[in-house]
Amino acid sequence: MTVKLVGLIKQLDPAAFEDYRSRVGATVTSFRGQVIYRGKLAHAFWNELDSDNFDAFVELEFPTLEDATQWAASADYQELLAVRSRAMRLTLFAVT
């Protein structure tokens, strides 16, 4: 079953963000995934869960949850964590 990953992003450092963004796609595709959509928050209508503010989001798609899990734990993606930490704060979750 196809799984989508949704990332809520609070951008911290624009240069680091562009560095991360330019490299992360290759790690996704190497695990049969794809970046479906990237966008900026236009307006929040409700925040009843008291989530931290975010200004952008990403939608990824993988054939299975196992593929997504393997991607997130992969050495290639782990190498990007230092730049990701400078670039943003991220909440990433899977939906089916």
Residue 1 has pLDDT above 90, yes or no: no
CA distance 43 to 68: 28
What's the structural domain count of the chain?
A: 1
The pLDDT tens digits for 9-62 are: 999 999 999 999 999 999 999 999 999 999 999 999 999 999 999 999 999 999
- Does residue 60 lie in a domain region? yes
Buried b (16+ CB within 10 A) or exposed e, 19-40: bbbeebeebbeebebeeeeeee
| CATH code, domain with 72 | 3.30.70.100
What's residue 72's pLDDT? 98
Closest CA to 4 of 49, 56, 79, 62: 62
What's residue 28's pLDDT? 98
Q: Which helix (H) or strand (E) holds 82?
A: helix 81-87
- Does residue 31 lie in a domain region? yes
The pLDDT tens digits for 66-94 are: 999 999 999 999 999 999 999 999 999 99
Q: Which residue segment(s) compose the domain that 67 sits in?
A: 3-43+53-95
pTM for this model (two decimals):
0.93
